[in-house]
Amino acid sequence: MSVRSWWLMISVGLGILLNPLNSSMVSVAIPSLQNVFQLDFTGVSWIIFSFYIASSIAQPIMGKASDLFGRRKIFLTGLVVAFIASLLAPLSPNFGWLIVFRIVQSIGTSMMVGVGMAIVRIHIREKQATAISVLSIFLSGAAAIGPFIGGVLVHWWNWPAIFFVNIPFVVASFLLAWKTIPKDESPTSVARNMSFRKWFDLIDARGILLFTLGLVALLVGLLSVKSSGHISLGNVIIALIGLVTLGAFIRYELKATSPFIPLRTFAKYPALTWINVEFMLVNVLYYSLFFGLPSYLQVVRHISEFQTGSLMLSLGLCSLAASPIAGRWIDKSGPRPALLVSAILMTLGSVWLVTLNPTSPVISVCLALAAFGISNGLNNVGMQAALFQSSPKEIIGVTSGLFNTSRYLGTILSSLLIGIVMGGKFSFEGFQVLGIVLTVIALSLVFMSRRRRESRQLRES
């Protein structure tokens, strides 16, 4: 790859790392926020959930916007939005305003994730798996070191520092992106002299509204169960409204002339659907470990927060180490062998979790973390490469956005899974049940990977 391509990847990487960095840093600021705003855990947990919900919705919407109006414009605009939100959030007069700025921050950072991947897909044509592996290092690295950075910042400068720390990343990314990302090819020329109604139809505002309302209602209903710890009639009604609205969204999109999410294209390219389903399951597995293992270490093993954080850091480091290896492997052999190995590693790691007991040696925990970390590195590169292979170039923005929505849905489902398995209190028995459930999910991924590989071989023969 040329020097310009490397600088392009760095400028995009500095932008896309803001989303996982901010989704993971805030976890260590929860006690401080509870103190400052006088909230219980249920109330303060929405600082996390609001970011996940907004990211789930914003990323495919911004992907659609980038396909229509230009990827460079959307990427640079996202950096400006993230800058403003990061500057204003620490000045919030109350928790409600903090949630508002947190949502704005999520929208700004979401404008860069899927769009950044699309920029790399279009402008870097050689060794794309290697390019994806570089971006995966930014994404995985930010998620892995986010809790550590957040802990240091909150310890020395209190919770506002986790917002201010974004500013140097935003400025560096903006200056580099301005110079390295090629200018857009006038994607809005088709919309010149259009009436407001035609613009309304072009961006599929009705579809976006139905998608947003449906997903928000469904996630709020599910997450309310998680945060409150019990199922109420109100939660069920909200979730059902979400499902009905999403059904209406699907029906509308099948008839729309310029659909926000091209469902007919997904029907034409079924591999796109399976890639998103697999990626969602992969993230259910990964984040179930990410959220569940620290509680096992602290509640069951009585290990300190510092030691827990040090052990969990190895998960991210293994993922980082695997990403460049995955890039070179996938450039030579394609994504399927790497994804199959990843599914096998996740299965072995899940089985290993079931064998852990309150006195298991630390090396046993490290083996499980290593298996999940390496598989995560393989998955981040392999799934994205598979998406690029399967997606038509003209809708790469929206498919990349939906791909990242699958990541957040997997994250949310992992939190719900832990809540269902554990009930009101974390226990060793619940942790073992969690390991069994994860083993079943991992085995299904092995089956899906092998089935997809066999289908590919039959088509080629």
d(CA 151, CA 277): 33
d(CA 377, CA 365): 18
pLDDT value at residue 250: 87
Look over the chain and give the mean of its residue pLDDT values, rounded to a whole number: 79
* Of 190-194, 262-266, 381-385, 446-450, highest mean pLDDT: 381-385
pLDDT value at residue 54: 83
Confidence of residue 189 (pLDDT cuts 50, 70, 90): very low
Q: Give how far Cα 121 sits from Cα of 339, 345, 427, Å.
A: 20, 28, 45
Render pLDDT for 5-21 as a digit per residue (tens, 0 to 9).
788 888 888 888 888 88
Render pLDDT for 194-230 as a digit per residue (tens, 0 to 9).
666 676 777 777 888 888 888 778 877 776 665 555 6
Q: Which residue has better confidence, 338 or 401? A: 338
Whole-prediction pTM:
0.71
Share of the chain above pLDDT 90, in %: 8
Q: Is the pLDDT of residue 152 over 80?
A: no
pLDDT value at residue 444: 87
- State mean pLDDT over 177-197: 67
Write out the two tokens for 142: 């930010």
Q: Rg of the Cα trace of the chain? A: 21
pLDDT value at residue 199: 67
SS (H, E, C) the chain: CCHHHHHHHHHHHHHHCHHHHHHHHHHHHHHHHHHHHCCCHHHHCHHHHHHHHHHHHHHHHHHHHHHHHCHHHHHHHHHHHHHHHHHHHHHCCCHHHHHHHHHHHHHHHHHHHHHHHHHHHHHCCCCHHHHHHHHHHHHHHHHHHHHHHHHHHHHHHCCCHHHHCHHHHHHHHHHHHHHHCCCCCCHHHHHCCCCHHHHHHHCCHHHHHHHHHHHHHHHHHHHHHHHHCCCCHHHHHHHHHHHHHHHHHHHHHHHCCCCCCCHHHHHHCHHHHHHHHHHHHHHHHHHHHHHHHHHHHHHHCCCCHHHHHHHHHHHHHHHHHHHHHHHHHHHHHCHHHHHHHHHHHHHHHHHHHHHCCCCCCHHHHHHHHHHHHHHHHHHHHHHHHHHHHHCCHHHHHHHHHHHHHHHHHHHHHHHHHHHHHHCCCCCHHHHHHHHHHHHHHHHHHHHHHHHHHHHHHHHHC
Q: Give how far Cα 116 sits from Cα of 9, 55, 73, 136, 137, Å.
A: 9, 15, 11, 12, 14
Confidence of residue 367 (pLDDT cuts 50, 70, 90): confident
- State mean pLDDT over 421-425: 65
- State mean pLDDT over 61-82: 83
d(CA 221, CA 218): 5
pLDDT value at residue 223: 66
Q: Is the pLDDT of residue 451 over 70?
A: no
Confidence of residue 97 (pLDDT cuts 50, 70, 90): very high
Instruction: State the virtual CA torsion across 52, 53, 55, 56 in degrees, nearest 10.
Output: 110
CB distance 111 to 75 below 8 Å: yes
Confidence of residue 186 (pLDDT cuts 50, 70, 90): low
pLDDT value at residue 458: 47
* Of 173-187, 273-287, 396-410, highest mean pLDDT: 273-287
